[in-house]
Amino acid sequence: MFADYHVHSEFSWDSRTPMEAQIQAAVRAGVEELCFTEHVDYGARCGEDNCDYSAYKRELERCRAIYGNQIRLKYGIEFGVQTHTIGEYERDFREQSFDFVILSCHQVDNLEFI
């Protein structure tokens, strides 16, 4: 199976690409399963909004209705974890029904790296 489980769309701070455009590119490339893993980085991205879960899920469901017979689409997230924000991620993990979760470290001692 040809799959990609690390894809960002307009719901991540580091992408402006619409979800549907990512899906269309994946279908053209022969990808069978695509998991969006939008960024959530509590306490790291000053002035940047985190993923809007409601809007993200709505768009994913809309795209599943259109492309579901061509590609399997999964609901994932990439948590940029820091020790002082673990509680926020635990809450989100309990409240959301993610298919896949990436735990990343994008910041240490207020120094950001990507």
34 pLDDT above the threshold of 80: yes
Q: How confident is the model at residue 42 (pLDDT cuts 50, 70, 90)?
A: confident
Q: How far apart are CA 57 and CA 51, in angstroms?
A: 10
Q: Are 27 and 70 in contact (CB under 8 A)?
A: yes
**DSSP annotation string for 22-47:** HHHHHHHHT-SEEEEEEEE-TTT-TT
Q: What is the pTM of this model?
A: 0.87
Residue 67's closest CA among 29, 24, 98, 36? 24
In order of their start, the domains of the chain are 3-112 (3.20.20.140)
CA–CA gap between residue 81 and residue 91 (Å, rounded): 13
Mean pLDDT score, 66-72 = 98
70-95 tens-digit pLDDT: 999 999 999 988 888 889 889 999 99
